[in-house]
Structure 1
Amino acid sequence: MRFRTRFGYVAGALVASTVLLFATASTASAGSDGGSVVDPTHGAAAWFKHDGDVFWSQDTKADGHSAVTRVYVSSVGIAHNLWNPDGNGAARYKSYGTAIPEGTTVYYQACIGEHGTKEIISCTPGWAKGVA
């Protein structure tokens, strides 16, 4: 009978340790990449990678317009336009590093605009999102 009692304590401790380990691993990897947002009509793409909190802007059409990724993170006061005037096929990125706390929801859109005047012409409808 003693063996079963000790085994019961050992099994209980093992289960508790496993649950704690799983909960810690889940919390540590709270971030999630956002999906790609593509506007094929106007020639812009945007996406977000949670590792480093990096937003990307890519020009996908040789039309004389610049690609723009609109970034919005209300909880930390970020409302930024990431301009990419480098031409068709080119991609630019901006890393926010530690400026966005882990677990924060981030929003972004793919747009086109005139780089010289900073005028945004058109954006994808709605906002895509990811988690820092």
Structure 2
Amino acid sequence: MLLLIIMAPAHAQTIWDSGSLSFSHTLSGMEEDMMTPLTSLTRGNVGPLYNSVCEGFPGAPSCVWDGPCNTEWALGSISDWNTLTYVTWIAVTNCGPPGLVGNTYVCHLIAEDIYVEVTWTNWGAGGTGTFAYTRT
């Protein structure tokens, strides 16, 4: 009897843990952070962050928003990426995006299996649609 074992190559995640890029979405609302071909983060004048590659503007704020698509988020540092618990973006904000400011999160780009550290520096309210962060 012949036993044939075929093993698929192991898929390794990518950890973006060096360097930094500062991104700012201003009042004009035209800027997007094109992180990869599958993930481009942006925001409308109101509402949550979304990925313009795989979804449209979600509209007014909602605590049940499950976007941005292709992402999951955790409070913490990139050095702990493999021990963090990942949830939707709105869940990690506790349905209060202004609370992001001053905190560091890890964003997992699911399709590419990339982990990125994001430190939020601004979340505009009152119809401004602004936001800013620094990421690895």
| Fold equivalence (TM over 0.5) | no
TM-score (norm 1): 0.31
Q: As a proportion of its length, which structure holds more strand?
A: 1
Larger Rg: 1
TM-score (norm 2): 0.30
Q: As a proportion of its length, which structure holds more helix?
A: 1
